[in-house]
Amino acid sequence: MIEQKIKEEIEKVRPALQADGGDVEFVSVSEDGTVRLKLTGACGCCPHAQMTLKNGIENYLKQQIPEVSTVVGV
């Protein structure tokens, strides 16, 4: 159930990443709420990718889904 919620919320942030030539893929979520995502395209090699994950996607997901504890890139 949490996996589906995460995927739905990622769909809401995906257009902003795609506008810059990148994208994000859901990889997994662990029992402790660690979400693993893969940034692709321009976002995959961007020097600001970690900031996008932490300050952007992680903060958003934590607000929408309290079970999310952290977001890490793979």
The domain that holds 41 is classified in CATH as 3.30.300.130
pTM summary value: 0.87
Separation CA 52–CA 70 (nearest Å): 13
CA distances in angstroms from 4 to 11, 17, 43, 47, 70, listed in the order given: 11, 20, 23, 29, 17
What is the count of structural domains for the chain? 1
Distance CA 1, CA 74 (A): 22
pLDDT by 10s per residue, the chain, length 74: 899 999 999 999 999 889 989 899 999 999 999 999 998 888 878 788 888 888 899 999 999 999 999 999 98
What is the span of the domain harbouring residue 32?
2-73
